[in-house]
Amino acid sequence: MDPSLTALVAANVTFVGTHFAMSHPLRASLVRTVGEKGFLGVYSLVSLGAFIWIGVAFRAVGPGGAVLWNGQGEVSWAITSALTVLSLALILAALKGNPALVGMEAGFVAKAEAKGVYAITRHPMMWGFGIWAASHILVSPTPRTLVTAGAMAVLALVGAHLQDVKKEALLGKAWKDWEARTSFIPHLGKLGGIGTGLWFAALVGWVAISWLHLWLANVPAGIWRWVG
């Protein structure tokens, strides 16, 4: 394997591995040692360091290399754009009333209703990141994208499962009842429940992020492939 690609794999393994380790088996001992605020500081510093490493290694690999398919057709870009809007809608919708957010108590979870985005999935944010990763693989199946986006998809979706396990241990029956009322796998037929306002916000976000993509990655994406 090319040394630069090996470094990228190592960076992604470190990013995903430290997230899982600090969020689950190491969290309790770290909190006991350095306190809750200290833990958040350590978690943030380790995550930021690994993320910067990914960015540096990603650029070092470069955009070349063998591809699994030709993702540069207009159909691929149109599908990718639609998936990006969907991922943004799920992420934005998850910012309000999400029982999976840190600090939510059993009483809140017990009263939570499986409506809106939570009628689609109980992990809208995680699925949003997973779909975002898939959209990048679809349009750019290069070695560096497969490694990095693949790692982010694993972090999101395996992380969602581990979150269920942790919440069951912390909240007991309240979380198990929430699981019974909701679905892990998204019900795409219920996407209308996200709401018109959030879909509009996702479209605006897609336009803005696509514009930034052009300037940061020098690759026209989204609507900017067809206008401007």
- Strands of 78-182, DSSP E: none
Half-sphere exposure at residue 87, Cβ-oriented, CA atoms within 13 angstroms? 21
With tokens 């026209």, the residue in question is 220
Please give the pLDDT value at position 224.
86
**AA identity, residue 173:** K
* Residues whose CB falls within 8 Å of the CB of residue 144, separated by 6 or more in sequence, listed in order: 5, 8, 58, 61, 62, 63, 65
Across the range 7-31, mean pLDDT stands at 93
Supply the pTM of this predicted model.
0.92
149-193 tens-digit pLDDT: 999 999 999 999 999 999 999 899 999 999 999 999 999 999 998
Number of H helices, E strands in the chain: 8, 0
pLDDT at 228: 61
Check: CB of residue 199 under 8 Å from CB of residue 125: no
Q: Where are the domains of the chain?
A: 1-62, 67-225
